[in-house]
Structure 1
Amino acid sequence: MSWTEIALNGRVLVVDDAMENIQILHGALQGEQEVLFALDGSRALELARTQHPDLILLDAVMPGIDGYAVCAALQAGPETRDIPVIFVTALNTPEDETRALAAGAADFISKPVNAAVVRARVRTQLTVKRQADALRALTLTDALTGVANRRAFDERLEAEWRRCARAGLPVALILVDVDHFKLYNDYYGHQAGDACLVQVAAALRRGASRTHDLVSRYGGEEFAVLLPQLDAKGAEGVARRLLDSLAQLHLPHAASPTSPNLTVSMGLCSFVPQEGQPATTLVAEADTLLYQAKAGGRNQYRMCANGANAAQT
């Protein structure tokens, strides 16, 4: 893909209290980018959190929350701090530009705007952002299995925990441990063990297939499946699909005292986050249930819902 193609088809949020200015910017970007708009700072922050734009074109002077305050709020939010901002404003002194850049803006365009300049600046910022996103994706991906790594899981868990706490929605987590994996490595060799983990990760991704589900390698032969907005009953359905998907691999495990084929144990928990409750509560509970599943004979899952413990095989 060329750099020109990388800089197209972005989602751009235009924020201005004058509809005629929004129309001008929309006209400049139409055909190259998807354009959203907001007429005030509060709506801009809401759209930034919910629509995840790739870039924001922001007016400085607006009633209520001005552009500088909007930019500061974006920088402070973990879900929005990586969205580049270009100030588009009638203010045109060096002091104004310096203030915008100090607030966290990536660029500054003075009004009246030139359509060609707007397009060029937008393409530049989209290219930079997509390069940064690609590099960040590499740092958040497990090199062996291709699923998310532990760092990605930790970041995503915190973000989903906060989001679901605000909305009063549940977050579910399934911790998955490959049974007797050391015996597998000892019997088949470490290369076969690596190939096994790759197949397990792929099976988990097939079983947890919603766009906002996250499968990650939690460590060694352990995986974490994060299921936002899913209660215990829904998460149990996912757990059963995961078991079915793994069973279809028919991976022999001649050294296993549990089964002639590879099996896993799971701990499943779902919580509606409460104010002041850390996200690690969910992990700790799922880990306890995983231990119970392993102590109970493996090749099974144990589950709870907000503290109610139940055994499932």
Structure 2
Amino acid sequence: MNELQLQEFSEASEETVIILIVDDQQMIVEAVRRQLASESDLEFHYCTDSTQAVKEAVRVKPTVILQDMIMPGIDGLSLIQEYRKNELTSGIPIIALSVKEDPKVKSRAFEAGADDYLVKLPDPIELIARIRSHSRSFVTARKLNYAYRALRVSQQQLLDTNLTLQRAMGELKRLANSDGLTDLANRRHFDEFLQAEWQSASKAGIEISLLMVDVDFFKLFNDSFGHQAGDDTLKQVAGAMRNTVTGEGFLPARYGGEEFAVILPATSSADAMVIAENLRERVEALKIPNHSPKPESVVTVSIGLATLSPNQTNDRKMLIELADKGLYLAKRGGRNRVGVHPADDE
């Protein structure tokens, strides 16, 4: 059954006891109706055709079904099983009605799914008491079920809302930490990341390496090709960095203008040199035309490398200064190379 049908079925009155008697004998139906006639809160319905019983139960939405055990077409035991198979009638209390007090018939009725068993015609007081008791239990259970389902829906909505907020906050954090042009980490995130990694390296007693990367002759490139081409080139260099600096815990960043940086925690100078050379070669392999220093030149980068342990100095800025000096050596040496300024040269 679909959700709309379930919702419509749930709208049955919670105050009125709705009774459906299914019996092919009109005389029995009328006798039961008279027994219940004095009770103003009891709503009475009947069905004499066993083949229509389940459909009638779905239509009436009873809170109790009185089911005859012997009927033409479909017997009472089979009908009880059919009620239990149907999503809209599976929980309705069923009182089996039989012409005799037979333990075997009673046992089979309970096995089929009946909730109670009465010999017809039962005493009116007992019949009404049992109807009210089963109806009250059914309505209470239904209320609890609806409340539980509503709670589950609310919980799922809350989870979905929290997940949406978390994703939004994550995206805002990413945007706040990213450079708008290259989508690499921005200068602020670079500073925060370096501070955190410096503290971690200090506690662990390990080294941390830093690459300072500068696009060679970039100002002349802009003069020759325009700022839009310059921005496109910076994006391609950033892409080369992402493809090269893939280690977990490494951070490529745009430091400012045409200058980039790469923080390499727990990385020796030798390992950092491998990464730097791979990056330099990857940028050169882009073959972005550049008129400087020669007409047939392509865009290249110069890289400064420095490696320090916080045990050598408490000032993390020293790592940046040494990498800058390495960058100066690379540029002075002819550009498109990696320059290293050892800490022990200070």
Give the 5 Å matches for 1:115-130: 125-130=162-167
Residue 248 (structure 1) aligned with residue 285 (structure 2): yes
**Distance in 2, Cα, partners of 1:259 & 1:267:** 25
Distance 2:216 2:226 in 1: 16
The 5 Å alignment of 1:168-187 reads 168-187=205-224
Say if 2:289 is the partner of 1:289. Answer: no
**Cα separation, 2, equivalents of 1:117 and 1:161:** 45
Letter paired with 1:210: G
1:162 pairs with 176, 199, 206, which one? 199
The alignment partner of 2:211 has SS state of strand
Q: Does the residue aligned with 1:146 lie in a helix, a strand or coil?
A: coil
**8 Å Cα contact 2:322-2:342 kept in structure 1:** no
TM normalised by structure 2 equals 0.52
- CA shift at 1:230, angstroms? 0.3
Which residue identity is paired with 1:202?
Answer: G
Gap regions ≥5 residues in structure 2: 1-150
The structure number with the bigger radius of gyration is 2
CA distance in 2, matches of 1:259, 1:293: 21
Alpha-carbon shift at residue 259 of structure 1 (Å): 6.9
Percent identity reads: 40
- Could you tell me which runs of 5 or more consecutive residues in structure 1 were left unpaired when the two chains were aligned: 1-113
Question: Which residue, 203, 217, 222 being the options, matches 2:240?
Answer: 203
- Kept in 1, the 8 Å contact 2:325–2:341? The answer is no
Query: Could you report, residue by residue, the CA deviation over 1:149-196 in whole angstroms, capped at 9, with x for unpaired residues?
Result: 111111111111111111111111000001110100001111111111
Contact 2:211/2:303 (<8 A) preserved = yes
In 2: Cα distance, 1:115 partner to 1:282 partner: 54
Confirm whether residue 226 of structure 1 aligns to residue 267 of structure 2: no
Instruction: Determine helix, strand or coil for the equivalent of 2:318.
Output: helix
Q: Secondary structure at the match of 1:278?
A: coil
Structure 2 counterpart of 1:148, one-letter code? A
Distance in 2 of aligned mates of 1:126 and 1:174: 37
SS state at 1:224 partner: strand
Which amino acid letter does the alignment assign opposite residue 201 of structure 1?
A
- Deviation, 1:251, is 1.1
Aligned to 2:178: 141
How many angstroms apart in 2 are the aligned matches of 1:140 and 1:262?
A: 27
List per-residue Cα deviations over 1:271-304 (Å, max 9, x = no partner): 1112861221111110111112112221111114
Q: Do the aligned partners of residues 273 and 201 (structure 1) sit closer, same or farther apart at CA in structure 2, a change above 3 Å counting?
A: same
The structure with the largest helix share of the pair is 2
Higher-RCO chain (CA-CA 8 Å, sequence separation at least 6): 1
Q: 1:225-253, CA deviations, whole angstroms, 9 ceiling, x for partnerless residues?
A: 11111010110010111012112101111
